[in-house]
Amino acid sequence: MPDPTLADLTTLRLGGPAGRYVPVADADALVAAVTEADAAGESVLLVGGGSNLVVADEGFAGTVVHLVGGGVHVDGDACGVASVTVAAGEPWDGFVARAVAEGWVGVEALSGIPGTTGATPVQNVGAYGQEVAQTIARVRVWDRVLKGQRTFSAEECRFAYRHSRFKADPARHLVLDVTFEFHAGELSAPVAYAELARTLGVEQGERAPLAEVREAVLGLRRGKGMVLDAADHDTWSAGSFFTNPIVDPALVPDGAPSYPQPDGSVKTSAAWLIDHAGFGKGHGLDRPGARVSLSTKHTLALTNRGGATTAELLDLAREVRDGVRERFGITLVNEPVLVGTSL
């Protein structure tokens, strides 16, 4: 059986072949594979769920290390707080489902997000008013520079909006496992996101049963094409392609969402900017032979309609980015990692 291409390993279903493909099932095998490649002077691409990667059509000339193993270990459960260590290769949504079933509070609004747990601290994954930074206690990594294991506390991870020390220096650290600390309960963390609160029929800041929050989030995500479904091309994406920009308040257009930040800046909505710059849902589908478009359910997702190339997807991304910049003077930044290519 031939080795998979990057198109086989990514949710966008895009990307060419790997120079060398190495599947690994646990942290020891991960460290061994990367150490061997480093010693040989080979470039390394680590792939878990492939949900945050845009890989060039030419592929990746180095070693693709594919992490396919997981596991969850409950380290302790005392005084109503559970300490839970999750292997990097554990599928994220499966872990969230278990957390909800066990009554571990704090990740229920992160339901339906594809990918593996090891990827979540890298960009401080968040949605519907929650971020993993709110429950992560520590992250254990392999440091490719010091050639040894290190453990970072949550504070040492330097979490910020879709950012961390691991994203700032992406080639250095391999996440081996993530330890979370959860308060136990039947009700969720306070519901911080207005759309989710409306769906649940509660006020922002109120709580709701964990299982109801999970189902509400899954429903909202499905309605936006953000829950993987092989039969739905709107889910052939890397999720939100652009981050919500954080800008000077004077740059926020009239009518755009505005969320004040501690430093005096404002976070606004990339989806609003895209839509109001003239790029509606399904933009691109009206072109002859269209193989890429904005999702028909959500303007923030760029999708492969089948048979597309990475070059075509990035042409669409540039069209949207440049159109928003021309209309509003705000430059959108891609959220997925670009491998072998750029905007």
CATH class given for the domain over 6-67: alpha beta
Mean pLDDT rounded to a whole number for the chain:
96
Taking residue 75's Cβ as centre, other Cβ atoms within 10 Å add up to: 12
Cross-strand bridge partners of residue 279: none
User: What are the boundaries of each domain within the chain?
Assistant: 6-67, 72-223, 233-339
Give Cα separations from 209 to 80, 103, 126, 279 (angstroms). 17, 10, 20, 37
Q: Check: CB of residue 252 under 8 Å from CB of residue 266.
A: yes
User: Does position 2 have pLDDT exceeding 90, yes or no?
Assistant: no
Give the model's confidence band at 36: pLDDT under 50 very low, under 70 low, under 90 confident, else very high. Answer: very high
Give the model's confidence band at 77: pLDDT under 50 very low, under 70 low, under 90 confident, else very high. Answer: confident
pLDDT at site 235? 96
pLDDT digits (tens, 9 = 90+) for 126-147: 999 999 999 999 999 999 999 9
User: Does position 278 have pLDDT exceeding 80, yes or no?
Assistant: yes
Judge whether 144 counts as a catalytic residue. no
Q: 50 CB contacts (<8 Å, ≥6 apart)? A: 6, 9, 10, 11, 115
Judge whether 240 counts as a catalytic residue. yes
SS3 234: helix
User: Which one of the listed residues 138, 144, 162, 165 is annotated catalytic?
Assistant: 162
- 72-223: what fold? 3.30.465
Q: 169 CB contacts (<8 Å, ≥6 apart)? A: none
Do domains 72-223 and 233-339 share one topology? The answer is no
CATH architecture of 233-339: Alpha-Beta Complex (3.90)
User: Which one of the listed residues 240, 269, 293, 295 is annotated catalytic?
Assistant: 240
pLDDT digits (tens, 9 = 90+) for 181-212: 999 999 999 999 999 999 999 999 999 999 99
pLDDT digits (tens, 9 = 90+) for 296-339: 999 999 999 999 999 999 999 999 999 999 999 999 999 999 99
Judge whether 164 counts as a catalytic residue. no
